[in-house]
Each structure stands twice: as structure tokens, then as C-alpha cells.
Amino acid sequence: MGARQRFAGVPGNKANLKGWLCIQSGSSYDRPPRPVYPTGLNRVLPAQGFSLSELDDAGVDLDLAERLGLPVDAGRIGAYGPNVTVLRDFVRSSRQPL
């Protein structure tokens, strides 16, 4: 199986593959997700942390983000939809008892 077949349908680049597979398989996260930001067509790069608007859209306050170990970058402006979705799923999975 070639690299094109393995990564077909995966949004962005291979750096976010672990988070994508966790979302797709429905498994729980073992560590906080890494935020990304779009840089062009079909390309994303890792970000320093989640923006305040992404945290707000996902319903996460700064205290909860600190308790969960989420990276926060107060200098980033705007919200990227996939980051908000990953945050919501992470918070849901962290609230479920093992």
C-alpha cells in the first residue's frame, strides 16, 4: 500500500495524522491535541497553541484549558474550525470516566 492510499482522505498534512485517527476511530486521547493553522490550499502547520476564540467556541475557559494541559496562544487571532472540533471532542472524552 503506497503513501497516497494510506493518507487518502486525511485533511491537511501528515503532522496532524494522530489527532485525525483518534477522531475517526473514536478512541480516547492520551495527551492533548496539537493545534494547527492553515497556510494555503491543502496545507496546515503546527501552531504554538489554541487561540482564545477557539477555546471560547469550544466552550473551554482558561482554567479548564490549564487543568487539561492544553497549549494556549493569546497572540493568535481567529478560530480554525478543525481546531474547535478537536477541542470539543477532547473535552468530551476527558469528562468520561474510564
Model pLDDT for residues 73-84, shown as the tens digit of each residue: 999 999 999 999
Model pLDDT for residues 42-64, shown as the tens digit of each residue: 899 999 999 999 999 999 999 99
> Per-residue pLDDT for 4 more than 60?
no
SS (H, E, C) the chain: CCHHHHCCCCCCCHHHHHHHHHHHHCCCCCCCCCCEEEEECCEEEECCCECHHHHHHHCCCHHHHHHHCCCECCCCCCCCHHHHHHHHHHHHHHHCCC
Domain ranges for the chain, please list them.
3-95
> Per-residue pLDDT for 72 more than 60?
yes
Structure confidence at residue 27 (pLDDT) = 47
Structure confidence at residue 88 (pLDDT) = 95
Structure confidence at residue 97 (pLDDT) = 65
